[in-house]
Chains A and B, each alone.
Chain A
């Protein structure tokens, strides 16, 4: 009897524990959106989608990235020719990092110490030490470098050059360009799969996404998009995100106002989701339940429910929203 009672109690405690833990597990997270036109970072509550703060930063903030300790945000303030570091606790810019002219997109190395920055104007990728706050190296790439993707295993950096139409594979050990893969016109974003085996490169003008084998540097497939009732030219793939389990990829299609959902096993488009005008960049919530999109022309952010693959809500953020980052 006593044992039974004990069991009941522990069951009850377990239930209570789960109940108490659940809100903590689905802990609130924050979405940060850079507004190219307002020169601000908009801070949005990930659950309620209310704007919590709008932080003034340098001119033309575009690419943003979270620090490894998730306590600060690196902001490419393109027209100020440097990177600003925003402390997420105080929401103040604490210092800047040198970046070379016109930084647009950036990627943090897996160790969290080195930041790789694409300098759109001078055909360089700059390597920045975030702790020493100094430029460590510069790597010559193609014309108008743009997309930056670091492989999760830390071996490769893929940079895309908008005008040369190439994906440059940079060996991070030697900081040398080891291979160049020709892709379709105006490549924008490079994104590795979580297993580091493939890199996906979106071509804005070409209207497609090249899936490249990271080992052989050969294209596995070029995924093209077709949306009934839309002209081909309006389909301009930019942002790419691949889920942590590697099963689904999401591609923002720019003026087509759609996000394509791609099955990574078959490399076929499963579905198109309607979002705001000129959707550019995407980011997952930490629990991978939601995907946030920045819609540049309609000045808002759409929230996609990933379980049901439906757009749940679209909320206004600053003007010309560009980059998006989610922090726990």
Chain B
């Protein structure tokens, strides 16, 4: 098969994900409402609680709402990544997945296409959120809006790959809801999204270490630094490494000889 055919496949999957996103208005607004509730309500309540010290990439004192915006952007990616893997479970149960899987393209390629499509849709959501945050007074430098794009895509791919891997080991939707709770909430709260990690260290050093090695923390920090036109290499390496790991696991999980076959025999 030629490269053109590969590209056409990618375009097709991208178009399908984009359409699905546009058609599901509730999902569209739901994806925005969640971080906005955090920004408008939660951050307002905690406005003066933080902001007592200056930590990189910030160069001066900031309000709490400014601190949590990168974390909320990452939250959009996290939910989006999990949701797109949820749709994989749906697709599998409804059978439309089989249509995709019988295409002549290698399976890993189809999965990567699916991930890229999900990441692109999630990035659009984040930009919408950032625009609203701008009017709320959170105004990072303009160049940051450009530099954050690769960070968003990389983080979205990593979180999407995690979702994909999870969906490969889950057989039914009901189980998936449970995993969402076991994955999304711990990942989100045990990260630097809502509070700087030095605060965490004050209360528990064990928790601090957990937070430090949470891939979601790396995603948040990568986005945070990029948004302020700085590079965070450890976060970048962390996110890239986690992406490689999750993607390998997902491809392994969807290998016809293993995960999927098992699924067919077991779940029907």
Contacts and interface: CB of A to CB of B under 8 A. Distances in A.
A275 interface: yes
Q: Dominant SS at the B interface?
A: loop
Contacts of A257: 61
A298 B47 CA distance: 18
A71 interface: no
A275 B62 CA distance: 8
A276 B48 contact: no
Contacts, number: 30
Contact of B61 (A230, A276, A310): A276
Contacts of A303: 60
Interface stretch (A118-126, A137-145, A159-167, A311-319): A311-319
B59 A312 contact: yes
B61 A312 contact: no
Interface in B196-214: none
B63 interface: yes
A312 B48 contact: no
A67 interface: no
Nearest to A228: B47
B60 A302 contact: yes
Contact of A275 (B48, B52, B59, B60): B60
Interface in A303-328: 303, 310-314
Contacts of A229: 44, 47-48
Contact of A311 (B44, B47, B48, B61): B61
A168 B59 CA distance: 41
B54 interface: yes
A274 interface: yes
Contacts of B52: 277
B60 A312 contact: yes
A312 B44 CA distance: 23
B48 A314 contact: no
A174 B59 CA distance: 50
- Interface size on A, as a range, is 10 to 19
Interface string A220-239: 00000000111000000000
A228 B60 CA distance: 20
Contacts of A277: 52
Interface in B30-45: 44
B51 interface: yes
Contacts of B59: 312-314
B61 A274 contact: yes
Interface string B187-230: 00000000000000000000000000000000000000000000
A301 B90 CA distance: 56
A313 B61 CA distance: 8
A3 B222 CA distance: 58
Contacts of A275: 60-61
A290 to B, nearest CB: 13
A274 B63 contact: yes
Contact of A230 (B44, B48, B54, B60): B48
B47 A314 contact: no
Nearest to B45: A229
Interface string B55-72: 000011111000000000
A314 B62 CA distance: 11
Contacts of B44: 229
Interface string B229-249: 000000000000000000000
Residue from B47, B51, B61 with most neighbouring chain A CB atoms (10 Å):
B61
Given A228-B47, A274-B51, A274-B61, 4 more contacts: A229-B47, A274-B62, A275-B60, A311-B61
Interface of A: 228-230, 257, 274-277, 298, 302-303, 310-314
26 contacts: A228-B47, A229-B44, A229-B48, A230-B48, A257-B61, A274-B51, A274-B60, A274-B61, A274-B62, A274-B63, A275-B60, A275-B61, A276-B61, A277-B52, A298-B61, A302-B60, A302-B61, A303-B60, A311-B60, A311-B61, A312-B59, A312-B60, A313-B60, A314-B54, A314-B59, A314-B60
